[in-house]
């Protein structure tokens, strides 16, 4: 399925996201997430900003627009980055389409 | 520019560096029961499986959930479910999933004799970080001499094979005790053949949490002599190599706490803690002394961690015998002595324990002389 900015995503129920010491940590709950054993996931500040907006209600375009306004960054670059991040998270089954 | 998300092995995670800079919770042990279906001669905790009083005092899943929430809030990433035998509890799957859903990495210690289809389905779908199984023997005679339960070897064998056949990450370990001493080479070979990453054996036994003299006598009878402990370690090239490589770090005059009367120089209560089956918080799994435990049913983990632990760690000794011996000993890293084990041996946190001392000296002699080197 091709990813577009009009799609809505939410965190998978097969992972648990935690914030420890300002680090966002995503812990796989089930088998088959990730490519290697003992794997955790973390994100940088902007990745965290995307993650916190993934509620299954907002489209990726709405999230990108919000981020562009918040970070005063060009919308085109932000949209590309949001798509890239979500593509990776979908591949790893960390987020699911709604 | 937004970066892609990062995935990485646990040991490479940058969070650990952050946590090292302050006294943070990283992991904890959760003894969900003190009861066990076996009756191992050397065990420091096992109560009978049918002990109604012990069962009645066990934490409920709701209490465990609340304590795990508090632990996660303090930053804990790992939890080890132990016992007793954790699979004795019918609600084990509920407890396991409760901890998993907190985002904790869950390890399990089990004797593998009670594994049912339900457990296997659970572990296949929601893998524990690892499962550690102790191999008491690789023949029925030896295994059941240790466990004192007829049929336990067949149950263990079946359970272990089910774990391995289902691809569950298993770590095997052994206790080196009098009852299995002659079979230890075969036990070690078996463990190394079936364990994925490492095998370890423990030749040092500490006494029981409940201080029962008859059972403590059984544990003492299972202890190997210092010479036997050293002989075992010398026969293990990997273990001996590490000990020799670390010799300068393990035996150092700076470890002698000259002029310091503090009891705790170990890591107890630094980064980890234990929760007992009845909700008692302990700085480590061995520390049961009166005044050093905190009832989490009556208070909070934050109170225990930030206020109670520092008070315990500030305890000092006035016993000349201790201050002139163990307190000043540079062999402390080769010794089982610590305030917790001293209490179990002598009833005092600063008691001197000649058996531990003899083992430490024998180990040091071998390491320093380089005996057994090729």
Confidence of residue B368 (pLDDT cuts 50, 70, 90): confident
Q: List alpha helices for chain B, DSSP H.
A: 15-20, 52-57, 61-73, 92-100, 117-125, 140-147, 152-165, 184-194, 213-222, 226-235, 237-245, 247-250, 301-303, 309-313, 320-323, 339-346, 354-369
Q: Other C-beta atoms within 10 Å of B197: how many?
A: 8
Residue B309, pLDDT score = 97
Query: For residue range A28-48, what is the model confidence (pLDDT) as tens digits?
Result: 999 876 655 557 888 888 889
Domain ranges of chain A: 9-93
Per the DSSP assignment, residues forming a β-bridge with B6 are A42
Q: Which of A29, A41, A46 sits opposite B100 (nearest CB)?
A: A29
Query: For residue range B46-60, what is the model confidence (pLDDT) as tens digits?
Result: 999 999 999 999 999
| A48: helix, strand or coil | helix
Do residues B303 and B310 make contact, with C-beta atoms less than 8 angstroms apart? no
Q: What is the mean pLDDT of residues B82-101?
A: 98
In the structure encoding, which two tokens stand for residue B96, read together? Answer: 């396991």
Q: How far is A1 from chain B (nearest CA, A)?
A: 20
Q: Other C-beta atoms within 10 Å of B245: how many?
A: 11
Residue B1, pLDDT > 90, answer no
Residue B238, pLDDT score = 80
Do residues B37 and B88 make contact, with C-beta atoms less than 8 angstroms apart? yes
The percent of residues in chain B predicted with pLDDT above 90, rounded, is: 74
Query: For residue range B200-228, what is the model confidence (pLDDT) as tens digits?
Result: 889 989 999 999 999 999 999 999 999 99
Do residues B78 and B66 make contact, with C-beta atoms less than 8 angstroms apart? no
- Which domains, from first to last, does chain B contain? 22-224+264-315 (3.20.20.70)
| B108: helix, strand or coil | strand
Judged by CB atoms closer than 8 Å, whether chains meet at A46 and B2 is answered as yes
3-state secondary structure B18-85: HHHCCCCCCEEEEECCCEECCCCCCCCCCEECCCHHHHHHCCCHHHHHHHHHHHHHCCCCEEEEECCC
The domain A9-93 is classified under which CATH number: 3.30.565.10, 1.10.10.410, 3.40.50.80, 1.10.10.1150? 1.10.10.1150
Judged by CB atoms closer than 8 Å, whether chains meet at A39 and B103 is answered as no
Q: Is the pTM of the predicted complex or chain greater than 0.80?
A: yes
ipTM of the complex: 0.89
Q: Compute and round to an integer the Cα radius of gyration of chain B.
A: 21
In terms of C-beta density within 10 A (0-12 exposed, 13-18 middle, 19 or more buried), how is residue B163 classed?
buried
Residue A23, pLDDT > 90, answer no
In the structure encoding, which two tokens stand for residue A87, read together? Answer: 């593509």
Q: How far is A59 from chain B (nearest CA, A)?
A: 18
Query: For residue range B167-200, what is the model confidence (pLDDT) as tens digits?
Result: 898 999 999 999 999 999 999 999 999 886 778 8
Do residues B146 and B136 make contact, with C-beta atoms less than 8 angstroms apart? yes
Residue B79, pLDDT > 90, answer yes
Residue B142, pLDDT score = 98
A43 CB neighbours in chain B (<8 A) are: 5-6
Calpha distance B371→B127 (Å, rounded)? 43
């Amino acid at each position: 399925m091709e990813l577009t900015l009009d799609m809505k995503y939410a965190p998978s129920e097969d992972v648990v996201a935690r914030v420890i010491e300002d680090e966002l940590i995503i812990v796989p709950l089930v088998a088959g997430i990730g490519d290697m054993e003992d794997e955790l996931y973390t994100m940088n500040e902007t990745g965290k900003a995307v993650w916190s907006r993934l509620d299954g209600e907002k489209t990726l375009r709405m999230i990108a627009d919000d981020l562009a306004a918040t970070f005063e960054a060009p919308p085109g670059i932000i949209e590309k980055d949001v798509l890239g991040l979500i593509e990776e998270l979908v591949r790893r089954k960390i987020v699911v389409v709604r | 520019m937004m970066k892609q998300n990062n995935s990485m092995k646990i040991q490479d995670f940058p969070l650990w560096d952050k946590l090292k800079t302050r006294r943070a919770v990283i992991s904890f042990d959760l003894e969900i029961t003190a009861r066990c279906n076996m009756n191992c001669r050397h065990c420091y905790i096992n109560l009978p499986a049918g002990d109604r009083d012990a069962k009645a005092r066990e934490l409920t899943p709701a209490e465990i959930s609340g304590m795990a929430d508090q632990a996660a809030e303090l930053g804990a990433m790992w939890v080890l479910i132990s016992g007793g035998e954790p699979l004795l509890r019918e609600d084990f799957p509920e407890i396991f999933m409760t901890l998993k859903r907190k985002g904790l990495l869950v390890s399990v210690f089990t004797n593998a004799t009670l594994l049912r289809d339900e457990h296997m389905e659970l572990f296949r779908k929601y893998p524990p970080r690892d499962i550690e199984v102790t191999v008491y023997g690789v023949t029925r005679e030896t295994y059941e001499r240790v466990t004192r339960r007829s049929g336990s070897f067949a149950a263990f064998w079946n359970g272990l094979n089910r774990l391995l056949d289902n691809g569950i990450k298993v770590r095997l370990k052994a206790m080196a005790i009098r009852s299995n001493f002659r079979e230890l080479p075969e036990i070690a070979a078996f463990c190394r053949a079936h364990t994925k990453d490492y095998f370890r054996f423990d030749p040092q036994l500490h006494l029981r949490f409940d201080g029962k003299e008859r059972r403590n006598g059984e544990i003492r009878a299972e202890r190997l002599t210092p010479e036997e402990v050293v002989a075992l370690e010398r026969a293990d090239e990997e273990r001996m190599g590490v000990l020799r490589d670390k010799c300068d770090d393990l035996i150092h005059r700076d470890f002698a706490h000259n002029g310091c009367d503090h009891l705790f120089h170990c890591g107890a209560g630094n980064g980890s803690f234990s929760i007992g089956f009845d909700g008692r918080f302990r700085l480590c799994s061995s520390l049961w002394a009166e005044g050093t435990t905190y009832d989490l049913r009556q208070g909070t983990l934050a109170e225990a961690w930030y206020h109670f632990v520092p008070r315990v760690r500030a305890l000092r000794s006035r016993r000349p015998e201790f201050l002139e011996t163990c307190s000043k000993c540079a062999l402390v890293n080769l010794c089982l002595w610590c305030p917790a084990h001293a209490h179990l041996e002598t009833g005092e946190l600063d008691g001197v324990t000649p058996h531990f001392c003899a083992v430490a000296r024998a180990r040091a002699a071998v390491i320093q002389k380089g005996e057994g080197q090729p």
